[in-house]
Structure 1
Amino acid sequence: MKAVPTPHFFTGRHMLAVVLGFFAVVIAVNLTLAFFATRSWTGLVVENSYVASQHYNEELAQAHRQRALGWHGGLSYEGGRLVFRLRDAAGAPLPGMQVSATVRRPTHEGEDRELFLSPSAAGVYAVPVALMPGTWAVEVHALGRDGRPYRRDYRLWVAEETRP
């Protein structure tokens, strides 16, 4: 004679275990996401957005003046050097500028650097710097002898070195 299996019923204890398990998973996921959110980029672009907004019209006017000059800049990373080239509207190099660059990662903080580029040729400014592979946001400021400023933001991709 075969034994008759006892029926298993879904009881209140089973329901309690399911509900507690569900909320345990939800809480664990939320804590994990909160942990990684606090360890990554804060998303802060300016310290005080109200104060920054008060200078917006001045920045807009400066951008119009810069566009009227017709200057054209180019930024590259060549052989461990950050190289900036600046030319006037006619394509002639612009020598004698004081050039600085703020280099930062667009998605996280901690690798930000302020660099001062030295003239290496007519209209060419460079600085040796070791940049890790990946995307960099570079803000370039140049000031001419006559006091005319130039400012431009660049995105720079540094490729990973291939080694034999």
Structure 2
Amino acid sequence: MSVNTQRSWEFTGRHMLTTILAFFGVVIAVNLTMATLASRSWSGLIVEDSYVASQQFNEEARKGRAQAALGWTGKLTVASGEVRYSLADSKGKPVPLHGVKVLFRHPAYEAEDEALTLAASSGGTSGNTEEFAARHTPRNGVWIVEIDADAGLASPFRDVRRVMISNGVLQ
């Protein structure tokens, strides 16, 4: 006869301690990783001073209504490594422009923002042209495009739109 001297496995206090330490170690490691990734990406800052921005809101809204009353329509084209912009009045006739600035803003990561100054690309002997362009290929993805077109008004014509760029082409 043989006697079975093998002991059955027991869950001891050391096992419990190891399990608890491993669990909280994983939780802390994940939290530190996420906090590091968050601090290295978007700052979350929208405006420097929210009080000042709130004081300017009514004036900006008035400018927006006045601009909308003009009935002008902007045309943005992104293709073949070139960004083009033109402006047409309510009757479809081109609006002469003196200069155009474009800002491609990434919705979540301001380090990706790209500012362009477009140059006149056609016509105009008096310094006024109908279309402005610049060589640029934005990266693929979603962008907020802010366009300030100098059309000889008191303030630039502001055109803001959210666009999708795929393979260097505006979708």
Normalised-by-shorter TM-score class: 0.7 to 0.9
Q: Aligned-residue CA RMSD in angstroms?
A: 1.8
Q: Summarize deviations over 1:64-119 as a string: whole Å, max 9, x none.
A: 00111001112121211111121011111111332111122222122323222122
Deviating more after overlay: 80-89 vs 7-16:
7-16
Identity %: 42
Match of 1:90 in 2: 91
Q: Distance in 2 between matches of 1:52 and 1:67?
A: 21
Closer, same or farther: CA 160–2 of 1 in aligned 2, 3 Å: farther
Q: Give the 3 Å change call, closer, same or farther, for CA 148–23 of structure 1 in structure 2.
A: closer
Match of 2:119 in 1: 118
Do the aligned residues in 1 keep the contact of 2:87 with 2:95 (CA within 8 Å)? Answer: yes
Match of residue 72 from structure 1: 73
1:138 paired residue among 145, 154, 158: 145
Query: Which amino acid is the alignment partner of residue 51 of structure 1?
Result: V
SS in 2 for 1:93: coil
8 A Cα contact 1:135 1:157, kept in partner? yes
Q: Displacement of 1:28 after TM fit?
A: 0.8
Would you identify which runs of 4 or more consecutive aligned residues in structure 1 move more than 4 Å? none
| SS of equivalent to 1:110 | helix
Task: Give the SS at the match of 1:3.
Answer: coil
1:129 to 136, 144, 164: 136
Return the TM-score normalized by structure 1. Answer: 0.87
Task: Map residues 31-46 of structure 1 onto 2, 5 A cutoff.
Answer: 31-46=32-47
Size of the aligned set, in residue pairs, is 161
Rounded Cα–Cα distance in structure 2 between residues aligned with 1:34 and 1:146: 46
**SS where residue 7 of structure 1 aligns?**
coil
Q: Extract unaligned runs of 5+ from structure 2.
A: 123-128
